[in-house]
């Protein structure tokens, strides 16, 4: 082995090294080694590549390192990270004294510097995200009670990182800012933090150092520090104060709206109910007057009386429809297994006379049992079938089909229905006068009529009742029409009400 080593000179070994070596000496008669004018007596190929030097003769320390290097720092610390202008390479330079000579060792740290730059950018982005989204993260050493906070956590708690170094950060610092009303609850939960095997969530209030009260939403988990072996808890705290304020406002508005709706429903019911009696009297006495004075009234007065009776009866129908609409809104949403076959059987029985008089043909698929309110579902089918029987074409026998189909998962997603739920689709189709699809959005609006009262009777409430019933069952109802060819109503209902 010694013989093999003797085959290579020391200079040859240095020239073959992947580490850069530069040897300088103080020129004869000059004792100032900080002048940068030391002569280069040796530079290996690696050092030439790292520094970008192509000509090695007549080199000085300053010509190699350039004017911008801080030689004093290198002299004091013995080491310096430096980027050479010519090559653009980052090197870690170390300086050693060899008697009257000085050895500079150069190691390429470009990859390390790239990682540092990326880390710096990432830290900057993280800090900006924390500031924008108002959150911060922390690591809690459960053995030593020491904390580490990100910059965002300092801001959440109202501190500056320079005023509260890591050495002063511990669990007592954190607890100091917890709102007094939440302190006991949070302290109890933190006391048992080691028992949390899964991700844990805490929500509480703090009073930051600047006096601002904040709602924090904390999500964390426990693990083991790979370096110390200590159990640690890692978590992130979000400032949800604005969300909680919005939530409170929404809850108050919902409460106010519910109260207002209840008052309106009660008013509609009472007003409609109280109007019934005087209208009944108007109609009753009007009919008596019509009977007794039929021969004594002239044609003009008889016309007036007919119009009074006609308007009174129309008002009665409107009030009855309003009462029906009010009952749909106010009826308790108690759902129970409901056989739709029985619902349709009873509905068709109620409409038997109208069906016979119009010579209508009704085609009905076998229906399932679903969770529903039987009374309201009866109203749904009664109004839909009555609508088809009403808007028929002259000299054409009505044909009404009530078909059942499944709702595929793709349609559930497309219509943004609740997933993991079975739905059915009921299609009610007729061959009546139809309507333009431009009016489809209006057809379910209360008191909206697509045809004049002189052509077809009705108050424009029936389909509004249908919409309320379907939506009360967490479903969807849509209408499609073709003028003079018929109308189609599609109802999608969940099988189970969860």
**What are the two backbone dihedrals, phi and then psi, of residue 60, each rounded to the nearest 5 degrees?**
-115, 170
255 and 351, same structural domain? no
Strands (E), 310-360: 336-339
Residues 136, 142, 147, 148, CA torsion sign: negative
Which CATH number characterizes residue 467's domain?
3.30.565.10
Boundary-marking domain end, from 239, 270, 289: 239
**Phi and psi (nearest 5°) for 490?**
-110, 125
Count structural domains, the chain: 4
CA-closest candidate to residue 11, choices 21, 2, 1, 26 = 21
Select from 278, 310, 330 the last residue of a domain.
330
Q: Look up the domain containing 322 and give its range.
A: 248-330
> CA 408, CA 420: separation in Å to the nearest integer?
12
What is the reported pTM?
0.47
Do 42 and 121 share a domain, yes or no?
no
Residues 144 and 230 in one domain: yes
Beta strands per DSSP E along 313-456: 336-339, 361-364, 369-372, 399-406, 423-430
The reply to whether 377 and 479 lie within a common domain is yes
Residues 65 and 189 both lie in one domain = no
pLDDT in tens for each of the 498 residues of the chain? 455 545 557 778 888 899 999 988 877 665 555 556 788 888 899 999 999 988 777 788 888 888 788 878 888 888 899 999 889 999 999 998 887 788 999 999 999 999 988 888 888 888 888 888 889 998 988 888 888 898 899 999 988 888 888 778 887 888 889 999 999 998 888 888 878 888 899 999 999 998 999 999 999 999 999 888 999 999 999 999 998 999 999 999 988 888 887 777 777 667 666 777 787 888 888 888 888 887 787 888 888 888 888 888 777 777 776 666 666 655 556 789 999 999 999 889 888 888 998 899 999 999 999 999 888 898 899 889 988 888 888 888 999 999 999 999 888 888 888 878 899 999 999 998 888 777 677 777 754 554 444 444 544 577 888 888 898 899 999 988 888 888 999 999 999 987
233 & 263 share domain? no
Same domain, 292 and 372: no
Examine the fold and report which residue of 239, 257, 275 is the final residue of a domain before the chain moves on.
Answer: 239
Same domain? For 24 and 121 the reply is no
Distance CA 382, CA 390 (A): 12
State whether 120 and 78 are in the same domain.
Answer: no
Query: Can you give the CATH number for the domain in which 300 is found?
Result: 1.10.287.130
Does residue 431 contact residue 399 with C-beta atoms inside 8 Å?
yes
* 257 & 298 share domain: yes
Say if residue 230 is in the same domain as residue 311.
no
């Amino acid at each position: 082995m010694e013989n093999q080593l003797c085959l290579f000179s020391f200079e040859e070994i240095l020239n073959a090294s992947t580490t850069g070596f530069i040897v300088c000496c103080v020129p004869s008669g000059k004792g100032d080694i900080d002048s940068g004018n030391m002569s280069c007596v040796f530079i290996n190929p690696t050092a030439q590549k790292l520094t970008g030097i192509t000509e090695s003769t007549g080199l000085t320390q300053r010509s190699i390192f350039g004017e911008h290097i801080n030689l004093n720092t290198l002299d004091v610390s013995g080491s310096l990270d430096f980027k050479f202008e010519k090559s653009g390479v980052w090197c870690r330079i170390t300086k050693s004294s060899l008697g009257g000579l000085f050895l500079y060792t150069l190691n390429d740290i470009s990859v390390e510097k790239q990682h540092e730059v990326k880390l710096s950018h990432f830290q900057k982005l993280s800090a900006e995200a924390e500031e924008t989204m108002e959150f911060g993260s922390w690591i809690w050493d459960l053995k030593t009670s020491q904390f580490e906070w990100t910059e965002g956590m300092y801001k959440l708690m109202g501190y500056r990182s320079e005023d509260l170094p890591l050495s002063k950060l511990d669990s007592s610092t954190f607890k100091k800012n917890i709102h007094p009303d939440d302190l006991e609850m949070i302290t109890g939960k933190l006391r048992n933090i080691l028992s949390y095997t899964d991700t844990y969530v805490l929500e509480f209030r703090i009073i930051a150092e600047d006096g601002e009260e904040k709602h924090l939403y904390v999500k964390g988990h426990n693990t083991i520090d790979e370096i110390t072996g200590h159990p640690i808890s890692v978590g992130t705290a979000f400032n949800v104060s604005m969300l909680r304020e919005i939530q409170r406002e929404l809850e108050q508005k919902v409460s106010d709206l519910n109260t207002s709706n209840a008052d309106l429903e009660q008013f509609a019911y009472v007003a409609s109910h109280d109007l019934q009696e005087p209208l009944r009297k108007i109609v009753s006495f009007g009919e008596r007057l019509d009977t007794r004075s039929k021969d004594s009234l002239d044609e003009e007065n008889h016309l007036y009386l007919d119009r009074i009776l006609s308007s009174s009866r129309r008002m009665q129908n409107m009030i009855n429809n309003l009462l029906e609409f009010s009952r749909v809104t106010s009826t308790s949403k108690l759902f129970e297994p409901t056989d739709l076959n029985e619902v349709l059987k009873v509905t068709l029985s109620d409409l038997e006379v109208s069906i016979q008089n119009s010579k209508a043909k009704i085609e009905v698929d076998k229906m399932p049992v679903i969770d529903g309110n039987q009374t309201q579902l009866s109203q749904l089918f009664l109004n839909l079938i009555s609508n088809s029987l009403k808007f028929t074409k002259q000299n054409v026998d009505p044909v009404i089909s009530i078909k059942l189909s499944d709702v595929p998962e793709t349609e559930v997603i497309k219509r943004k229905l609740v997933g993991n739920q079975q739905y059915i689709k009921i299609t009610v189709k007729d061959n009546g006068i139809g309507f333009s699809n431009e009016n489809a959005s209006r057809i379910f609006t209360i008191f909206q009529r697509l045809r004049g009262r002189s052509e077809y009777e009705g108050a424009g409430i029936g389909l509004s009742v249908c919409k309320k019933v379907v939506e009360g069952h967490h479903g969807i109802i849509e209408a499609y029409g073709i003028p003079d060819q018929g109308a189609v109503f599609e109802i999608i209902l969940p099988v189970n009400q969860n």
